[in-house]
């Protein structure tokens, strides 16, 4: 089945720096790639997503890039703030297009 690898597992940055989280997926049939943010004790919430017909998408300080050939996609957060501290999950649609398969998560810590 689909497998999603996410790196790094932990990431510490200074406020104002950029943060990059990378994911690879195994199934070339995957066509939807969302990113979720989970703050401590809360539910995961979608922050940005990208479909396979697009190479890059931006939303203010957040951007996602997709390389279909290499089967990897990345989350870029610029000008990080302490409130960006959370666990971030990437996901990819499975081969049948019936569910999302998640990476293991990245714990981002932004220190001021």
Q: Which is nearest to 52 in space by CA: 38, 36, 66, 37?
A: 66
Q: Which residues pair with 49 in a beta bridge?
A: 34
Unique residue bearing structure tokens 């597992």:
9
Q: Is residue 104 involved in binding other proteins (CB under 8 A)?
A: yes
Q: Which residue, 18 or 45, has its beta carbon nearer to other proteins?
A: 45
Residue pair 55/64 in contact by the 8 Å Cβ criterion: no
Q: Is residue 100 involved in binding other proteins (CB under 8 A)?
A: yes
What's the rounded Cα separation, in Å, for the pair 62 and 72? Answer: 17
Residue pair 25/34 in contact by the 8 Å Cβ criterion: no
Window 6-35: contact mask with other proteins (x via CB under 8 A): x--x---------------------xx-x-
Q: Which of residues 33-92 bind other proteins (CB under 8 A)?
A: 34, 42-46, 49, 51, 89, 91
Q: Which residue, 1 or 83, has its beta carbon nearer to other proteins?
A: 1
Binding site for other proteins (CB under 8 A): 1, 6, 9, 31-32, 34, 42-46, 49, 51, 89, 91, 93-94, 96-105
């Amino acid at each position: 089945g689909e497998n999603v690898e996410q790196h790094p597992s932990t990431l510490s940055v200074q406020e104002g720096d950029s943060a990059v989280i990378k994911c690879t997926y195994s199934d070339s049939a995957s066509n939807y790639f969302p990113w979720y943010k989970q703050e401590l004790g809360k539910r995961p919430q979608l922050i940005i997503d990208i479909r396979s017909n697009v190479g890059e998408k931006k939303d203010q300080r957040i951007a996602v890039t997709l390389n279909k050939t290499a089967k990897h996609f990345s989350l870029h957060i610029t000008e990080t703030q302490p409130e960006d501290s959370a666990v971030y999950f990437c996901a990819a649609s499975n081969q049948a297009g019936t569910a999302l398969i998640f990476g293991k998560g990245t714990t981002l810590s932004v220190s001021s």
